[in-house]
Amino acid sequence: MSPKGVFTEDARREIAEAIQAAERNTSGEIRVMVRARCDADILPRCGTDFGGRAYDQAVREFERQGMTKTRDRTGVLILLVWEERRFAIVGDTGIHAKLGDDYWIVRIVELKSYFVAGEYVRGLVAVVGNVGRELAKHFPRKADDRDELPDAPIVEDNR
């Protein structure tokens, strides 16, 4: 099944609503992206869910999607590479400086527990909520905060 078959309009709406709720109390910006596969020029390398091609693709998408342009460098991208059954989370420099690698590893383990059970949307919604709560602690919403990035998940069937 393709990513678009799993991430229906209702599923996308549910994820977008989770992102909106997560961003209510933080200046952080969260995006979710689902791709069928990594770009062909991203070479395979040894790695687990914590690295490898999915992480390299996430770093590329972070730049492509303009996520480095948020005011305080507070973007977070959650990427699922559907056909490769891999995923990654990338936080911008402002966020990563506060949270570090260990925080993202915990979120990856959390995502994996949902994905193993086939609960993709539920897992993304849960992790978005957890990331939003953590961002609110370190990056509370500012009086002049505005939504800098779209909340709708990006779902690409790039086969």
SS3 of residue 140 by DSSP:
strand
CATH number assigned to the domain covering 3-156: 3.10.310.50
The domain locations on the chain are: 3-156
Asked whether the beta carbons of 57 and 43 are under 8 A apart, the reply is no
Backbone φ and ψ for 81, nearest 5 degrees, come out as -100, 100
Asked whether the beta carbons of 107 and 124 are under 8 A apart, the reply is no
**pLDDT digit string (tens) for the chain, length 159 residues:** 788 888 999 999 999 999 999 999 999 999 999 999 999 888 776 554 456 889 999 999 999 999 999 888 999 999 999 998 899 999 999 898 999 889 999 999 999 999 999 999 999 999 999 999 999 999 999 998 889 999 999 999 887
DSSP code per residue over 20-48: HHHHTTBS-EEEEEEESS--TTS---S--
Q: Flag whether the pTM goes above 0.75.
A: yes
